[in-house]
Amino acid sequence: MTRRRGFSLIELMVSMVFLAVIMLMVARILGDTSQSWDLVRRRGHSTSVGRSVLGLMADELGRAVGGESLPFVVGPGRVAFWTQHAEGAGGGGDRRSLVRVEYRLESNPDSPDFHRLVRRQAVWTGGSPSSDVVTSEMTDWAHDFAVVARDGQGQRLADGSHDRLPAHVDLYLTLGSWDDAQGFADMTALRQAQAARRFTARIHLPGAWTHAEAP
């Protein structure tokens, strides 16, 4: 009768080392997959927010009106203009339907590396914006917001207030991810580029009426 030989202590130790290495490799693969999926999820959310914000801006700029008492204002991280309510946009511009809209970057108290993009709205009160201003936060992880307005000859409008509307407006919005906000400043340039998403839109204003043409 043959005697069965068991594993030696050295063989058991070698086997445990191999098993530990395999488990570490599997854990690393799963961790990388989880991080990749999380990055895709965050970028997908940023894409949804960016498209929604620029879509709203484009819709309101497409109904913008201008004139001496209805100035178009552009500046660093800011654009303000008069626009028509959607329900009043098709009848030639009834002033009772006018609202003054402003989009502006503001500091984010929760993260110094990101800004809040806010929208302010005030209704027409017979010559000036109402003091009753409604403020809405569009996003709190904006990295940058720029507005470039040009006239019919393609010349860029200077920052400030203008009596006439531009021929078109280019919008540039860069969003990060709120999940990355706390450590954004410590990221490498490549990692920042991966975490941020830039959105652009060009809005033409060919049919906007001026103050003199307004009823």
In a domain, 38, yes or no: yes
| Structural domains counted in the chain | 1
In a domain, 165, yes or no: yes
Cβ-count burial 130-143 (b if 16+ within 10 Å, e if not):
eeeeeeeebbbbbb
Mean pLDDT within 142-158:
90
In a domain, 213, yes or no: no
Per-residue pLDDT at 33 exceeds 70: no
pTM reported for the whole predicted model: 0.68
In a domain, 112, yes or no: yes
In a domain, 8, yes or no: no
In a domain, 134, yes or no: yes
51: its two tokens:
């498209």
In a domain, 3, yes or no: no
- Domain containing residue 185: 33-204
* Each residue's pLDDT tens digit, 99-124: 899 999 998 887 777 888 999 998 87
In a domain, 4, yes or no: no
Separation CA 210–CA 127 (nearest Å): 14
